[in-house]
Structure 1
Amino acid sequence: MCAFFEGGYTVVVPALPGCISEGDTREEALENIREAIAL
């Protein structure tokens, strides 16, 4: 789930509780969440 809030994007992975990431652009937020999932 990716949503725009206050000048940036937030991504949440419902299947991984607490796995949340942000970015200035949608692409950055998705790249960040991919890195978080890989951990």
Structure 2
Amino acid sequence: ELLQLELSDYVNWYNNCRLHQSLGYLTPNEVVHNTHNLFV
């Protein structure tokens, strides 16, 4: 149960907070939902 919670937190951070160089310093969530264009 604790492991599942920790993994869920990590996946959330990885997809929503961590900037990825290969994605143009966007998060995977921004790329998937194309939300980065809203700030241009």
TM-score by length of 1: 0.32
Report which of the two has the higher share of strand: 1
Using CA pairs under 8 Å that are at least 6 residues apart, name the structure with larger relative contact order, 1 or 2.
1
TM-score by length of 2: 0.32
Between structure 1 and structure 2, the one with the greater Rg is 2
